[in-house]
Each structure stands twice: as structure tokens, then as C-alpha cells.
Amino acid sequence: MKNYTLDILNELTQNVKKVDSDEIENFVKQINSANHIFLNGAGRSGIAIQAFANRLMHLGFSVSLVGEISSPHSKAGDLLIICSGSGETGSLKSLAKKAKQSGVKLALVTMKKASTIGRLADVVLVLPGTTKEENKRDDAFAQPMGSAFEQLAFLTFDGLVMNLMDDTEESSETMFARHADFE
């Protein structure tokens, strides 16, 4: 039995080198200028974006996960961040279209910039990977379905948090003051 963890880390290291730093900068600008930030994703991408929403809250941003009962009404000046590897998930496409009709800015983390959601988005952050529908692998080692994208999304969201900490002069200590105490 082989331990694949080092192969996974190597794959992610190679993929992160392909991420465009200008796209990261534009993404951070959208977050910093938003009145309220809505976040959504499906499946494992949805889990990664939930963790990002949590850290944005710790940074002091006004955030909501779409579909939560405490989520407020959207308005112009808000931002919707969607994490979708394919950019074609049906429910997320509908949500993206509604956001644009409402005057809400749209940011997408995806593998497919030319996707339906990508074409609607104001800013797109492309992360390398293989969608669950694709069988072609570029390397001798590649994780199944969208695993590499989902893992890189999680790590990229943590990198964005570090960028936002620099911008807002937040620290782990100041963020901890916003950490849940009812657990």
C-alpha cells in the first residue's frame, strides 16, 4: 500500500504555480470593496467555500452562506462568491444569473473561465485541476475527479485570508475575538 500524500502535495505545488497573481489581486479588491459577501458552492467545493466564509467573518467582513436562514436580502454593492470547478453547476448558474440581475457583483473560483458562470462573473480566479467529468490526465499522477481543484481552492482561500489580513491589519489575535464562543 502506497502513501499518496506526498504525490498529492506535489500535484498541488505544481498547480499553485500556475495561478495568476493578478487574478488573486482582483479577487481581493472585490472582497475589500463589498458591502456584504454571499458565498456558495456545491459538494466538496461548497465545503471549501464554507471554511472561507468562516474566516471572512473572523476578519470582520459581513458574510452569509446562501440558503442559510439568517442570510439577508441582497443589494447593489454586495458580492457573491461562487466556487465551482466546472462553472456549470445548474443551481449555481441560476444563482449567478439572479445576482447579476440584482446588481450584485459576481466572483468565481473555477477551473473553467469560459464557463457559463465565468462569462457572467466580474472577476474570475482560475485554479488548475480536472473536473469530475474529465478523464484525461496531463501528468503521470493525478487525483480522481475534482479533488486537486477542491484542495487547491481550500488552500487558495487560506492564502486570500492572509492577503486580506495584510490589507486590514488583522492578526490571529484580533480575529480570535470574533471566533465563536458558543460551541
Segment 37-74, tens digit of pLDDT: 999 999 999 999 999 999 999 999 999 999 999 999 99
Q: In terms of Cα–Cα distance, which of 61, 119, 66 is closest to 88?
A: 119
CATH of domain 5-132+141-168: 3.40.50.10490
Q: In terms of Cα–Cα distance, which of 133, 79, 67, 71 is closest to 108?
A: 79
Q: For residues 57-90, b (16+ Cβ closer than 10 Å) or e, as one string? A: bbbebebbbbeeeeeeebeeebbbbbbbbbbbbe
CA distance 70 to 66: 9
- pLDDT over 90 for what percent of the chain? 84
Strand partners, 53: none
Phi, psi for residue 106 in degrees, rounded to 5: -125, 125
Report, in this order, helix, strand and coil percent for the chain, each rounded to 5: 45, 15, 40
Residue 50: per-residue pLDDT: 97
pLDDT band at 129 (very low <50, low <70, confident <90, very high): confident
Catalytic residue among 25, 150, 169, 170: 150
CA distance 110 to 12: 15
CA distance 68 to 41: 13
- The average pLDDT across 150-161 equals 97
Segment 68-92, tens digit of pLDDT: 999 999 999 999 999 999 999 999 9
150 belongs to the catalytic site = yes
pLDDT band at 143 (very low <50, low <70, confident <90, very high): confident
Residue 118 has pLDDT above 90, yes or no: yes
| Widest pairwise Cα distance in the chain | 54
Residue 150: per-residue pLDDT: 95
Q: What is the DSSP letter of 67?
A: T
- Secondary structure (3-state) at 14: helix
